[in-house]
Chain A
Amino acid sequence: MRILREILRRPSAVFGLSIVLLVVIAALGAPLLAPFAPDEQMFDGLTLDGAPIPPDATFWLGTDTLGRDLLSRLLYGARTSLIIGLVANGTAVLIGLTVGMLAGYLRGPVGNALMRFTDLMMAFPALLLAIVLAALLRPSLWIVALVIAMVNWVQVARIVYTETRGLVERDFILAERSLGAGHLRIVALHIAPHLVPTAIVWGTLGIATTVLLEATLSFLGIGVQPPEPSWGNIIFESQSYFTAAPWLVFFPGIAILLTALSFNLVGDALRDILDPTQRGRM
């Protein structure tokens, strides 16, 4: 309750939260909200020359090159993109946190092994890895999310590792040890809470990159399979028609941008609200 009250005191967070809610409503209510079916190729969806139709009274956001309604595709695409953004990103942050925290806290041979593995993953071309993984596993929405998580956790691990090493050196951790606190207690109660801001920032920043990585995978044919729409594959399918039909790139682009920005604003506010050392300062 306190968190909600605090959010409502910040205009930027309120804005972010409203957009996030809108996207969630769009995703859940797509069948009810969408004026057409997302994969319906309409006869009147193309001009007589076969070109897509710009936004008008029937097709609010225009149609794509196959004569499908863009608004309907965006609404259905919100589902895919939201799942990818939240699940893939959340998993990546969780893996990164665990690996980074373990390596930073344990150090020694285990910590070194973990970090060398992380470096190896970092040096490995992310796209190649994603292609290999996607080729081995039959592409579906969840597999794509998993593949993206596998690629994206490394940066988080690296940053969390550095931060954890700094935290372990701090006197209050030494004080805990001198009191006889066990490893689990120190990690869970005195290290993890300090990493929450990092996790939130990465989690929200990662949403945009994740949505775009999914688009890249879709473009390469190993992402979400057509005709199922995602914001990413709408952009990729249409980018060669950018000059002729700019709305096809513009609207999904705006959708990705606004969503990423909104998550970011909410994340920023959460970070400040959850930090007790900010209390009474503002």
Chain B
Amino acid sequence: MLAPAPPVLSVDNLTVDALTPEGAKRVLDGVSFELAAGETLCLAGESGSGKSVTSLSVMRLLPKASLRIVAGSIKLQGRELTTLSDRAMRQVRGGDVAMIFQEPMTSLNPVIRIGDQLTEAIRTHQEIGEADARRAALAMLDAVHIAEPARRLTQYPHELSGGMRQRVMIGMALSCRPKVLIADEPTTALDVTVQAQILRLMRELKAEFGTSIVLITHDMGVVAEMADRVAVMKAGRIVETGPAVDVFETPREAYTRELIAAVPRLGARAGTDGPPRVTAEPAAPPAASTRPVLEVRDLAVEYGGSSGWFGRKAGVAAVHGVSFTVEPGRTLGLVGESGSGKSTTGKAVLGLVPFSGAVSIDGTAVAGLSPRAMRPVRRLAQMIFQDPYASLDPRMTVGAAIAEPLVIHGIGAAADRRDQVAELLRRVGLTPDVASRYPHEFSGGQRQRVCIARALALRPKLIVADESVAALDVSVRARVLDLMLELQETMGLAYLFISHDMAVVERMCHHVAVMRAGRIVEAGTRRAVFENPSDPYTRELIAAVPIPDPRNRGRQMAPAG
């Protein structure tokens, strides 16, 4: 047997404290791992598990005022990094260890051309002339498979798509041939088809450059696609580590099992027509009327158009010619990637953006209704937003927030409202005594429950859920989805479920409509769309979803682009 090669990066007993006014709080507690040459190690975990703090510690980029390494060592090819001078560390950063971040738009300087940013990065670490650096930059863009690399050099970041920007970031990170690439949620902000391309690119480049990769992600599907080895983190510790196949197939820790089980698997609902039942109640009786709760005909939304003094200015069409219906007690999934117009459609349905076309809610056409005439209709349709942090007024107690719809619509006296708020809180799995607290005192999942309670206050028939679980950790996400299914079963709610996540849509929906560039390209029952997609774009979307099974790696069909 060969003697094992020395690790490129070894982290031993890394301990980091957060400095708070109440004293030091441990955020990393004895984290140890090794990264072999040419290996991909995934640090997997939910928010607050310490995965980003770990990577920032390696880069020595921890904010000095609030986080401090108190013990442990970080060795890069045997060289201790924790005690290195700031000057020497700057040579290591970008030279030996490079990092890419989640949001490629904010990591690139918006006012400097791509070419200048790349050459600057190259010349910081290599003693070469401007022209040579420029050639190297061009070669790098070529290596990350950007179309028309020469033209990209002269462009600004905003002229590139999100996927292209992330390719530039990867190119910049690899331009000095680092030994270690740290990628912190590199595909989280990207569409699923683009994510597949970027992951494939990272696999190729790893083989080509022999770079070791530390990949930080919350997405077990991405872990399965990429990892040689996995380290599962929870509350500042590594709870389990091992080869990817072992961790996925025979997880030792209960937490790992929970994490893997919480990932919705595409195809898990194959052969069924609706979402799984989560309550023991008998199937909801067929609705008294079969008239659809929501009927949309030829919906069109235009942004930026205006009729000013100097004639009409044409706007950008965000949605055109969209038609669908939602039956009572059923869920229609609206799927698509960013910019497909799915969120705009959801807002138009509730009259939050101006639109043309016909929208009727429970038989009442809403187009052209006065605000006063619209009020009774508003009660029938409510919305749950993506970000539960942003959709609650931070200066209002959650009790007041939930009572808000009752106050606006003048329902009940103050005492009745208090009782109703308590009842609604119980309904969504919170205790009534939390009513006097403010949103920042809750976790993300609890906040989304508060938003659901607020949406339920007016006893609506339809809820528009716009990416309502996208901002939540997987384990929390599963519980919120179960709550939504439970409410549907017991209250006969209909959902317009807007999401980019195919696996979640598969779990939640009866019907599915796939949107692309403002149009519906395919619609039908969920079973038909998922098991027998007719449109090539739908097939592409389904194929691009990472599968949480390391043995199935790379089976996904990623289009070149």
Contacts and interface: CB of A to CB of B under 8 A. Distances in A.
Interface of A: 170-172, 174-182, 185, 189-190, 193-194, 275-277, 279-280, 282
Given A176-B404, A178-B383, A282-B21, A277 B390 contact: no
Interface stretch (B200-208, B255-263, B392-400): B392-400
A279 B378 CA distance: 34
A178 B408 contact: no
Contacts of A276: 394-395, 397, 438
A175 B383 contact: yes
Q: Which 7 A-B pairs have the closest CB atoms?
A: A171-B391, A180-B378, A171-B390, A178-B383, A179-B405, A172-B393, A175-B391
A178 B395 CA distance: 19
Interface string B376-406: 0011001101110011111111000000110
A47 to B, nearest CB: 57
B438 A177 contact: no
Given A174-B352, A174-B385, A177-B352, A277 B394 contact: yes
Contacts of A181: 404, 408
A178 B392 contact: no
A275 B408 CA distance: 24
B474 to A, nearest CB: 22
Interface of B: 21, 347, 350, 352, 371, 374-375, 378-379, 382-383, 385-387, 390-397, 404-405, 408-409, 438-441, 451, 454, 458
Contacts of B392: 172, 175
Classify the interface of chain A: helix, strand, loop or mixed: helix
Contacts of A280: 441
Contacts of B454: 175, 179
29 contacts: A171-B390, A172-B393, A174-B347, A174-B385, A174-B391, A175-B385, A175-B391, A175-B454, A176-B404, A178-B382, A178-B383, A179-B378, A179-B405, A180-B375, A180-B408, A181-B408, A182-B408, A185-B408, A189-B396, A190-B393, A275-B395, A276-B394, A276-B395, A276-B397, A277-B394, A277-B395, A277-B439, A280-B441, A282-B21
Contacts of A182: 371, 408
A89 B391 CA distance: 34
B29 to A, nearest CB: 24
Contacts of B451: 175
Nearest to A193: B395
A208 to B, nearest CB: 29
A194 B374 CA distance: 28
B440 A277 contact: yes
A195 to B, nearest CB: 11
Given A179-B405, A180-B408, A172 B374 contact: no
A282 B21 CA distance: 8
